[in-house]
Amino acid sequence: MGNRCRPEVSKGPAHFCQKGRVPSRALAWSLALIGMVVGLSARGVQAEPGGLIYINTNFAHASPLYWETKPDGAVHIYLAYDQERASPNRANGHWFFQLQAAPGAELTLVLHNFDNVWNGKPGSPLDDRTIGFASVDGKSWRVFRAETTPDNCLKFTVTVRAGSLYLARLEPYGLSDLEALKAEIRAHGDVAITNIGRTVEGRELEIIRIGRPDAPNRVLLRGRAHPWEPGGNWVIQGLIRRLLRGDAKTQRYLDIYCVYIMPIANKDGVARGRTRFNMLGADLNRKWDRPPDPNTNPENHALETWLQAMIDKGQTPDLMIDLHNDNGGKLHISRPGIDLETYLAKMREFETALRKYTWFTEGSTTASFRNPGSIGEGLLDRFGINACVLELNANWIAGLNDYPSAQNWELFGAQLGEALYHYFKATADER
């Protein structure tokens, strides 16, 4: 795929580079309704001197925030941090809101509160490649480029041509998207959807099985442990649709493996527009070195309970992939203090398959890398499962020479079906 436009800092109005995908029919309808209200209410409404009327967050997955307009006309937006319980850690990285403004208004926005604390150390989700997405109608999303300021804010200028404009860190994938996907696939003979528990706020958690439970290999995937990271959901959707296509390759894949998927682990955080932790401050990609607390971390408790039942039935997953987004895009292979020879050999085979059969090119972590408490290390150390964390670059896809998008991540999911087939063929003698 050609180079549409490289991520450079934008000094003027945001440069829109790439058309995206519809987040969901339900979300699209809700956004369309909001747009109609905006169009009606903007007539005769007195805007601020710069043209801003309101920043709307009254829709699913919108970010908690407040704002103020400075004397120079710049709109400063203050995002709310997620806080981890019993820890100094805090996180911000998600933003999704709607500008309502006088038609044709050119607005300079400055987003604040990216001074994160990660594993007890200061950090930032921003760098000189950070991008965002914009949509007039909530259906078609385009990339825009932004500037990271010296004081760790994100600055960009947009033109609100039609009176309203949606802005998001990445193309949204919400709970309604998942419900639509489940409705699409539920009746298929190779699909089973099992409820395994509930979130802190009572939302149902599910495992989606694609394939036959008696297949010789089993893969477990988890998406959206951290709410700001929708890339994994688009990958999961692409994989599911590929495995249900019903062609000769599908039959070949499902003769070799069965896939189990926890599609959205942190449903409460997604619904409420949060960044990292669950609604009681638990990080769903930490403390996997011990059984999860069912009171403060019911999401991980549900997954581990399901996993233990699978192990007790003699159906331990042969491979586990935890899907995330970050600014690097590598395969994270943690190395606890145990015998790793077989595990590392299989991870090399998995990386080889990704490089050969998907657009993945970013490589894997070095021999010194370790991430204690992550699900990749925890499932390996405690259960002997070949587990890893696959980070999807949130700013650029080197293998496609293109920006990340729902379409490109769904393509990766479809390609992952082929990569898994060759991975299991290559490791068959090591079982």
For 254-311, what is each residue's pLDDT tens digit? 999 999 999 999 999 999 999 999 999 999 999 999 999 999 999 999 999 999 999 9
Region 198-209 average pLDDT: 98
Any residues with CB less than 8 A from the CB of 309 and at least 6 apart, and which? Answer: none
Listed by start position, the domains of the chain span 25-168, 175-430
Determine the pLDDT at residue 23: 46
Burial of 380: CB neighbours in 10 Å, binned 0-12, 13-18, 19+: buried
Any residues with CB less than 8 A from the CB of 386 and at least 6 apart, and which? Answer: 318, 319, 320, 343, 346, 347, 350, 380
CA angle, 315 as apex, 376 and 353 as ends, to 5°?
Answer: 50
For 353-363, what is each residue's pLDDT tens digit? 999 999 999 99
Region 210-234 average pLDDT: 98
The CATH number that domain 25-168 falls under is: 2.60.40.3120
Q: Where are the beta strands (DSSP E) in 94-253?
A: 96-101, 105-112, 116-118, 121-123, 131-135, 142-145, 147-148, 154-160, 164-168, 191-198, 204-210, 217-223
Class of domain 175-430: alpha beta
Region 202-213 average pLDDT: 98
Ramachandran quadrant class, 81 (left: phi over 0; alpha: psi -120 to 50; beta: rest): beta
- Predicted confidence (pLDDT) at residue 13 exceeds the cutoff of 90: no
Determine the pLDDT at residue 44: 56
The DSSP bridge pattern shows strands 191-198 and 142-145 to be unpaired
- Predicted confidence (pLDDT) at residue 26 exceeds the cutoff of 60: no
pLDDT band at residue 17 using 50, 70 and 90 as cut-offs: low
Region 117-124 average pLDDT: 95
What is the percent of the chain where pLDDT is above 90? 87
Determine the pLDDT at residue 16: 56
CA angle, 174 as apex, 288 and 77 as ends, to 5°?
Answer: 90
Task: Indicate if 175-430 has the same CATH topology as 25-168.
Answer: no
- Predicted confidence (pLDDT) at residue 9 exceeds the cutoff of 50: no
Determine the pLDDT at residue 120: 94
For 70-92, what is each residue's pLDDT tens digit? 999 999 999 999 999 999 999 99
- Predicted confidence (pLDDT) at residue 140 exceeds the cutoff of 50: yes
- Predicted confidence (pLDDT) at residue 37 exceeds the cutoff of 90: no
Cβ atoms 12, 147 nearer than 8 A? no
For 307-323, what is each residue's pLDDT tens digit? 999 999 999 999 999 99
What is the percent of the chain where pLDDT is above 70? 89
pTM over 0.75: yes
pLDDT band at residue 50 using 50, 70 and 90 as cut-offs: confident
Q: What are phi and psi of 311, to 5 degrees?
A: -60, -45
Which of 30-39, 103-112, 373-382, 383-392 bottoms out in mean pLDDT, i.e. has the lowest? 30-39
Q: Please provide the DSSP assignment of 62-109 as one string.
A: PPPEEEEE-TTSPEEEEEPPEE-TTSS-EE----EEEEEESTTEEEEE
Determine the pLDDT at residue 49: 77
Please state, as a whole number, how many other Cβ atoms lie within 10 Å of the Cβ of residue 318.
19
Query: What is the rounded CA–CA span in Å between residue 347 and residue 12?
Result: 44
Region 200-220 average pLDDT: 98
Q: What CA–CA distances, in Å, run from 93 to 6, 58, 111?
A: 22, 19, 10
pLDDT band at residue 6 using 50, 70 and 90 as cut-offs: very low
Determine the pLDDT at residue 39: 52
Query: What is the rounded CA–CA span in Å between residue 229 and residue 170?
Result: 8
Q: Where are the beta strands (DSSP E) in 270-363?
A: 319-326, 331-332
